[in-house]
Structure 1
Amino acid sequence: MFPFRQTSRPAGGPQYVVKSGVYTTVTIAALCRVSQTFNVRLLLSALIQSIFVTFSQIMAEKSFISGMKTAIFLLAILGHAAANLLMPGIYTEVVEIQQGKYQLIGVPQASLNGTVVQLEYTCDPDVELEFDTEYVLRSSPCDKEFFNTKENERRQNLVFYFNETNQNHIPDTFDYNEIVYYKSPIQTISCKGSHGRFVFPSPTGPMTVKQVTPVHVDRVKRDANGLGSFHPAQSIPRDGIYYMIIKVVGKSFPLNQNANTNVTISVQWKAPYGFLSAIDWPLLRFYKIMCVFYSALALIWVYYCIKYYRDILRIQYWIGAVIVLGMVEKAFFLSEYATMNDTGSSIDGILEIAEIVSCAKKTMSRVLVIIVTVGYGVVKPRLGQTLNQVAAVGLVYFIFCSIEGIARVSKNTVEATRQKQFAALPLVLTEMIIFYWIFTSLAATIRMLRLKRNDVKLNVYRHFANTLAFSVLASVVFMLWSMIYHIFPTCRVDWKELWVDTAFWHVLFCFILIVIMILWRPSQNNQRYAFTPLLDDSEDENDQDEIFNAFAPGYDILTARTSGSGAETRKLREAEKEQERKDEAIKEDLRWIEENIPTTIADTLIGGLDDNEEIESKQLEVSKML
């Protein structure tokens, strides 16, 4: 058997294969999201080709929004980033000591200079069991060498790395010049003599630098010998990815064959700042900053809502809910990372709860963008049947997101990769449907506002469309950078920057949220963004009549008949011009009312006039009776 605590890290970004063409891109992305392997060269060429086709279509369209419809598929593909799995600072493995077999346990960790490693053994103090143990600690500049390996490769590498003859060699799949290496002396441990607990003594010397050359790693047969206060065993001299291989060999066994021969091996990696790995440490500071940032956003939003509480729009309540959920989400992640840094282990269930809260925030944010793009409260007073569709899509997205998130954080083994990818497939399909809905609704709303000539609301939606376009472009550029520097290289030397793959999507989300907050912020002229039936309906009816009449059969003939000759015709023309001037004056007055006087005040004034007229009519009736 091969006891090994798997700590593989996800690749920094989504693993998709895309081809040119919009609908082909959707199909390939959905299928390749659940594929365990892919051709990265094909991925790069296909993605570049797809980007070229997409933005060529955008530039060729007369309307920018209509071109944006084709960009939503890239956004759906690029918006699903692989989350950064937390690496525990304390690893525990239970090993059964067997006669005639030895155990090899491998524990990788990203560490900074000054990190100390403690190795502790725990066994039954009443059992007369003796075993020999030793370990090898070596470094690598490549993140993928120790983490992203398959089971058979791990088995081969354990034997290869522990073999003392290979201290100057590395697998031929990697190419670098030197490592830091240390091999401990053999220690004999007696469970009864050590009272069931033994801490590996301090090293006999520091780790040394070795010049290495690539060699081929021989295959290991499956039925070969089995693999399977702070007192540091070694101190890390330089930053790098380290791999500790522990060997345990049974030496003396109890006469009772049913006696407990299990040994619990605990490896603790403690850096100067705590137990977090060097890859996860920047995310602790990042989540602290995000908590403060979301708290500031919440305070600012509450202040403006209280200041203009009489004119609050419905959509501004949704924005506040998204801010609160974002703050709670960051608080959960900060709690998880802080606990891991302080204790070296995670509290059961906290990470799962954080993922569920994150899914609630994502669901609320997508629902918010949908109701913004359909014009809820701006060009239409109520959603109607759209409300049921939005609720159904939001519920489906939340369920799929929760399943994918819990599967991702609960199963941290390479063997569970395929299960994670199948769990993510429904989520990706739902994301694509939502993105398509967002951009088509945005195009329809902008078209309606353009027909109504409502420049105030039209400018708001144009700014929002430009924000989404920038988000798509930023996502494409970032994913290209991530693939070039984090996915394609066999030796990923910039492993210290992997935290950016997680942080970028949080920052991009905050950017979009801030833009929405600015565009739909509470103000004293809040009602200029709200639905106004007097202006919107009348203009809408006139526009619809004009469009309908223009396409009606015989419309040109009828207009020609009405434009006869003579004095009567001139009078009709003058009357029409006079009526047009009056209509234009009325429109200017209505436009001024919409831009300068809130609807609530206008309603109050109109209601007051109605009351005065009613009082006067009553007085007139009373005077007649007298």
Structure 2
Amino acid sequence: MAVPHIQLSVAVILLLVLLSGCNARIHKLRLENETRFAIDLNNFGFFANGFLKVSLSSLWLNDTVNYSIYLVGFSLSRSRVNGVLSYTAEETEACPPTKTTNDEPLILFLIDSKHLLVNVSAMGVQDNFLIAKAKSDEPKEKKKVTKRAADDSNGEPGKSDTNQDDDKEIPGGQEKVPPANEKSNPVEDAKKPEETTFLLNNSVNPILALDKRNGLYNFSFRLVIGPKDQGLYSLKFHYCRNKMAGVKLPYALTLDVVEKNPGSFLSAAEIPLSRLYICMAGVFFAAAMVWVYTLMKHRYSVFKIHWLMAALAFTKSTSLVFHSINYHFINIEGHPIEGWAVMYYITHLLKGALLFITLALIGTGWAFVKYILSDKEKKIFMIVIPLQVLANVAYIIIESTEEGYSEYYLWKEILFLVDLICCGAILFPVVWSIRHLQEASSTDGKAAMNLEKLKLFRHYYVMIVCYIYFTRIIAILLKITMPFQWQWCYEFLVEVSTLIFFVLTGYKFRPASNNPYLQLPLDEEDVEMDEVVTESGALEGISKVKKTSNGRERQKEPTL
């Protein structure tokens, strides 16, 4: 079919346009004329000694508004239990920075543009270290008290923080954390502003410096995760003026975010994925080789659909290989290598197309018992294949777009909806085949064989429903209830269920003489073929000759 070629062309165009701006775990976000009062920047699972570095630059605000009243800033919330984030859908309708008391682990960075400062508030139990430039006009005695409190809380002598860079040792005997993608430059290091380390808790509310140049605000901070505070974090930007005043004023900002765990740029739940994908690629490849061996062994019972099933298995294996390579480079570089990412997306496109085409063709009985698709079946392909193209386009855009952009959520909803429509559409050919076999088993002389085929199609229908239900619903529910570091099990369950589904489908429709789906009638021609022959008026009166079991020829009466 020409559909995979169409998908390949669309993929190449999109990848060239989108991947150039994809930065994966090193995020670069630029928003202009933005009016949203809350922007979800990213979710990331941190282990102990992981760090979050945020650099806000070119923040433009309407100077006619008093932003010390209409709060603007960041919120960093940690998951309550396991992987469920702190703010539910109802809570996001409110403006979180306006909350003054909260027992949940939450850190607020509230920007006061009038006094050029950033107020930091830590709520709940905190064990994190904040490294940032403190407000210059803050009394020195207060700084010393803050540093002494940080040292005393860990039971170790104090360390000087006045000229502390990102790669210096932090208080409390924590492990050294090198800065991400930064090279040492003595000249630039000498120009760096003095930074202070704060141990965040309820009694310490640091005040950070806010710079203003040419009407644009900027500041940065670095948060090191403590041993007791590892978990799944959600970083958001809030512009509460548009929520509280009810009038949407535009604003603009440029944001650089670096998230890193010890030795890895991947989130805690993503670190095992590279090894998982390469192992599953080997399993799918082994299954594909076994399938090819079966086809060669029973070559006289092989149909075209069997080779299409083999192509699907090999494409799935190749897609997992490139997926593993893609995660490997994100793990060590913080961003994908564009060439490997392009190869992964191309194989992902082909795998998605082959999967739905193969499932639909098996459901219609194509190549096994007939070589002609009915008009209803052709319409299914005309619907499913374009929707698959749209789903793959949405997937590429989601993977190549920062979460903070408004388009991200639009394409995410499109992907979810289109995927469900495709999964539902491929069930129709199976239902039609079951209905046809039910009618045929009561009208012709091959009731026993049709009942065997009917049983097989019913099993296939149940298999598809279970596969869709598990991978789209059950696995997602398991993901949100697992601890944050075990959420990679979601991908493991999806891949294992896909492997089981492929193996069961191959076993049910294997090329073998004892497969009821592939057995040919022994007495008379299929009822469907008789209907096809007699539908045309030009073929009326044509009789067919067939040899009987004793070798004599028997003439079948023409159907009028």
The bucket for the TM-score relative to the shorter chain is 0.5 to 0.7
1:315 offset after TM fit, Å?
A: 2.1
- Corresponding residue for 2:331? 341
- Corresponding residue for 1:90? 26
- Corresponding residue for 1:494? 483
Query: Given residue 434 of structure 2, which amino acid in structure 1 is its aligned partner?
Result: L
- Corresponding residue for 1:508? 497
Does structure 1 residue 303 correspond to structure 2 residue 277?
no
1:94 offset after TM fit, Å?
A: 8.6
1:333 offset after TM fit, Å?
A: 1.6
TM-score, with structure 2 as normaliser: 0.55
Separation in structure 2 between the aligned mates of residue 278 and residue 376 of structure 1, nearest angstrom? 45
Does structure 1 residue 520 correspond to structure 2 residue 467?
no
Does structure 1 residue 111 correspond to structure 2 residue 46?
yes
Structure 1 contact 109–242 (Cα < 8 Å) conserved: yes
Separation in structure 1 between the aligned mates of residue 472 and residue 381 of structure 2, nearest angstrom? 31
Q: Which of the two has higher C-alpha Rg?
A: 1
Change (3 A) 1:108 1:471: closer
Query: Given residue 367 of structure 2, which amino acid in structure 1 is its aligned partner?
Result: G
1:370 offset after TM fit, Å?
A: 2.3
Change (3 A) 1:438 1:107: closer
Structure 1 contact 122–264 (Cα < 8 Å) conserved: yes
Does structure 1 residue 161 correspond to structure 2 residue 119?
no
- Corresponding residue for 1:267? 258
1:277 offset after TM fit, Å?
A: 0.8
Change (3 A) 1:404 1:265: closer
SS in structure 1 at match of 2:337: coil
Over the matched positions of the two proteins, sequence identity in percent amounts to: 14
Pairing 1:221-620 to 2, within 5 Å after superposition: 226=217, 234=224, 236-238=226-228, 239-242=230-233, 267-272=258-263, 274-348=264-338, 351=341, 354-383=344-373, 388-389=378-379, 391-411=381-401, 412-413=403-404, 415-416=406-407, 417-422=409-414, 425=417, 428-445=420-437, 447-448=439-440, 451-453=444-446, 455=448, 458-459=451-452, 461-473=454-466, 476=469, 494-523=483-512, 525=513, 529-530=517-518, 532=520, 535-537=523-525
Separation in structure 2 between the aligned mates of residue 264 and residue 329 of structure 1, nearest angstrom? 33
**Higher normalized strand content (fraction of residues):** 2
Separation in structure 1 between the aligned mates of residue 86 and residue 343 of structure 2, nearest angstrom? 32
Separation in structure 1 between the aligned mates of residue 254 and residue 135 of structure 2, nearest angstrom? 13
SS in structure 1 at match of 2:373: coil
Structure 1 contact 138–182 (Cα < 8 Å) conserved: no
Structure 1 contact 456–528 (Cα < 8 Å) conserved: yes
CA offsets per residue over residues 154-188 of structure 1, 9 Å max, x none? 77699952477733x25xxxxxxx34222336479
Structure 1 contact 88–275 (Cα < 8 Å) conserved: no
Give 1:201's match in structure 2, choosing from 163, 168, 173: 168
SS in structure 2 at match of 1:287: helix
Does structure 1 residue 145 correspond to structure 2 residue 86?
yes
1:203 offset after TM fit, Å?
A: 1.4
CA RMSD of aligned residues (A): 5.3
Separation in structure 2 between the aligned mates of residue 461 and residue 155 of structure 1, nearest angstrom? 61
TM-score, with structure 1 as normaliser: 0.50
1:299 offset after TM fit, Å?
A: 1.0
Structure 2 contact 75–109 (Cα < 8 Å) conserved: yes
Structure 1 contact 92–265 (Cα < 8 Å) conserved: yes
1:326 offset after TM fit, Å?
A: 1.3
Structure 2 contact 476–490 (Cα < 8 Å) conserved: no
Structure 1: state its 5+ residue gaps.
1-85, 96-104, 124-134, 171-177, 190-197, 214-223, 247-261, 545-585, 591-605, 611-626
Aligned pair count?
398
Structure 2: state its 5+ residue gaps.
1-21, 32-39, 58-73, 101-105, 111-118, 137-164, 175-197, 204-214, 238-252, 533-546, 554-560
Change (3 A) 1:267 1:346: same
**Higher normalized helix content (fraction of residues):** 1
Separation in structure 2 between the aligned mates of residue 422 and residue 242 of structure 1, nearest angstrom? 26
Query: Given residue 537 of structure 1, which amino acid in structure 2 is its aligned partner?
Result: E
Structure 1 contact 136–183 (Cα < 8 Å) conserved: no
Separation in structure 1 between the aligned mates of residue 75 and residue 87 of structure 2, nearest angstrom? 14
1:466 offset after TM fit, Å?
A: 2.3
SS in structure 1 at match of 2:511: coil
